[in-house]
Every structure is written in structure tokens, then in C-alpha cells.
Amino acid sequence: MPSAVMPTSGRGAAGGPAPAAISAVGLRKSFGDKVVLDGIDLRIPAGSVFALLGPNGAGKTTVVKILSTLITADGGEARVGGHDLATQAQSVRAAIGVTGQFSAVDGLITGEENMLLMADLNHLSKAEGQRVAAELLERFDLVEAAKKPASTYSGGMKRRLDIAMTLVGGPRIIFLDEPTTGLDPRSRHNMWRIIRQLVTGGTTVFLTTQYLEEADELADRIAVLNGGRIVAEGSADELKRLVPGGHVRLRFTDPAAYRAATDALADAARDDEALTLQIPNDGTQRELRAVLDRLDAAGIEADELTVHTPDLDDVFFALTGSTAVPAQADQSKETVR
Ligand SMILES: Nc1ncnc2c1ncn2[C@@H]1O[C@H](COP(=O)(O)OP(=O)(O)OP(=O)(O)O)[C@@H](O)[C@H]1O
Ligand SMILES: [Mg+2]
């Protein structure tokens, strides 16, 4: 019952829990006889960033489409912006903005015209539409390109325009389906900055991503979707604690020194080609000292010693590598903040 044990970030009024911007219980969806979502529970506090991770085909886009009323669930309930998805879809639509995995930008018209079209769709007056479009084009660094056909934009510019268009109606909740896929590192960092600014302004962000670093950077909470269910949920740190993978790596340049070390450290994982040894280690001072003491005692002098702590990649592989769900994953739901 993750939704029942999941306290909120505590940013609500009077120290109470923040109201949920998005909540869902038991969402189900099948396409034909393929079960894609097999009971999804979510509770996303207002003003927070939530990242949904999962391998290709896990159902991330399907979740986004359901919560943004583009398709209907086969079962379960959800509220978005305080409105019931099934009975108040129109109100949900008015509260949200969606940037899909595939661009909504019309390449035949200019960036500015795309923006004004969105303003029209959002029933803004002509003057108001022009004001909002100009402000957003400025904020997304698209002023210079505004009068050019969007088909001439680079991938990063198109993505920025896409998100700027999503913001025209001033939504309090936005869904970003893989907002930085295909962007270069600089554009990706710029996008992160923009997303952080939105959150500072109180917007709730629901994002899906293939980039674990992105979830790590942006998200207050992360959920991993696999096999139709959420197999783990928590902050990036909480998820990293679920998987083993911390180790100390010793690299040698002298094959003789390497051989001597493999004899002395029989429990280490070896890579005879790279002349490296890996010893499990949680990265605490105490365990590091223990390793160093062992090396000293055996007279081992490595050319390089590096400490590796598990990252979200390790979590992702551990949780989505097989259909089996690690025992700790369920426990994590009980211990999350
Ligand atoms: N309209 C549809 N008709 C039939 N099957 C569909 C439909 N939409 C999605 N699916 C299937 O549902 C599953 C989940 O798709 P979805 O697009 O939600 O995955 P995803 O996690 O977003 O993947 P990706 O990381 O590739 O974007 C896939 O197996 C997909 O083929
Ligand atoms: Mg997708």
C-alpha cells in the first residue's frame, strides 16, 4: 500500500502534508491481451518533481497519457490538480500542460506562430497571447529564432519551443515525457535549469526519463516502472541504498604486482586484462581503512585506488534486469520519507 505509507515533502500549509497534485490508485491498462499497467499507485505532492523511470516499453508514456486524459485507464482511480480523471477530464485538462515524447511543434510555421497558436487554443486574448508568447520566447532563449520556420530549428531549439508552448496556458502541473532525449549535454543542463525554475515557481513536474542522472539531478522522488508495476520508489539516495555495488577498485600497471595482489586478496573480483581488482566496500571511512590496512599488511602498492558508490544505473539494472523484484524494493516503500 505505497500510497498509504508515503508521507509528503511537508511543504504544505501549517506544516501539514502538501496537497497531492497527482494521486492515483490501482491504475490498469492493457492493449489487447498485453497488460501494460498492472496496478499503479502514485502520490505526488504539489510543487515537487517526480521522475518515472523504466526500460523501453515499460509503460511510462502510457501513464503520462492516462494522467493527461489523452487515453483512459481500464481500471483504477486518479486525481490530477484536485480533479477526478474520469468525471472531470475537462478540469484536469485546464490544470495541466503536456510535452509529449514526440514534438507538437509545427515545422511549417515560425516559433512565434506556434506560440500564438497555443495562446489561441488556451483562449487567451490577442494582446495577452502576444505578451505571454514574447515572455516565454525570451525565457527560452528563442527571441532570435522566433520569426524563422520551426523546421529550421535544431533539436534542442525545438525541444525548448515544445516546452515553452506547454507553458502558454500557465499550467500548475506539467508532464514532460523524456524532455531531454536527444539533447547535447549543454542543452540538457539548460533544460534542467528551466525545469528547476518552474518548480521554484510552484509548478509540479511529472517527468519520464531514460537518463538516471536526470532523475538524480531533478527529482524529489523517483519511481521505477517495470513489468507493469512500480518496483521501487523513493529519493535518489534511498534507491541507491537498495542495491549493493559499492566497491574499491585497485589498478596496477606492473603485472607482477597485480599477481601478488590477487594472491593476497583472494576475495577480490579480478580483471586480468585491465589488471584491476574490485573489493566490495560501502565507502565508509571505517571500511576504507580496513581495506587500506589489508593492503599495507600484504605490502600491496596499487597504482590507483578509486572508491565507487552505487549510482542510479546500478539501481536501474538491479531492478529492471529480471522480472524478479528484490525483496528490499518492497521494504523501501515502507521506509521512504
Ligand atoms: N496504442 C497502443 N496500442 C497497442 N500497444 C500500445 C499502444 N501504446 C502503447 N502500447 C504498448 O504498450 C507498452 C508500453 O508503451 P509505452 O509507450 O507506454 O512505453 P514507454 O515506457 O513510454 O517506452 P519508451 O521508453 O520506449 O518511450 C509497449 O509494449 C507498447 O508497445
Ligand atoms: Mg515513452
Q: Is 102 in the pocket of ligand 1 (CB under 6 A)?
A: no
**For position 332, what pLDDT does the model report?**
34
CATH of domain 247-309: 3.30.70
Is the confidence at residue 333, as pLDDT, over 70? no
Q: Compare 288 and 337 and report the one with higher pLDDT.
A: 288
Which mutation among 52, 62, 229 tests ligand 1's pocket best, with the greatest number of atoms within 8 A of CB? 62
Domain ranges for the chain: 4-105+153-240, 247-309
What pLDDT score was predicted for residue 184? 84
Predicted confidence band of residue 1 (pLDDT cuts 50, 70, 90): very low
- Between 54 and 323, the more confident residue is 54
CB of 54 closer than 6 angstroms to any ligand 1 atom: yes
Q: Which atom in ligand 1 lies closest to the alpha carbon of residue 210?
A: 25
User: pLDDT tens, 125-183?
Assistant: 999 999 999 999 998 889 999 999 999 998 888 989 999 999 999 999 999 999 988 78
Reported as a pLDDT band with limits 50, 70 and 90, residue 16 is: low
User: Rounded to the nearest whole angstrom, what is the distance from the C-alpha of residue 192 to the centroid of ligand 1?
Assistant: 25
> From the CA of 232, how far away is ligand 1's center (Å)?
20
> Ligand 1 atom 10: the closest Cα is on which residue?
31
- How much is the pLDDT for 12? 43
- Check: pTM over 0.85? Answer yes or no: no
Q: Is the CB of 310 under 6 A from ligand 1?
A: no
pLDDT for 52 = 96
pLDDT of 17 reads 67
Whether ligand 1 lies within 6 angstroms of the CB of 61 is answered as yes
Atom 30 (ligand 1) nearest CA: 57
* 4-105+153-240 fold: Rossmann fold (3.40.50)
Are 82 and 19 in contact, with CB atoms under 8 Å apart? yes
pLDDT score of 100 more than 80: yes
Q: Which residue has the higher pLDDT, 23 or 157?
A: 23
226 lines ligand 1 (CB under 6 A): no
Q: Please tell me if the domain spanning 4-105+153-240 has the same topology as the one spanning 247-309.
A: no
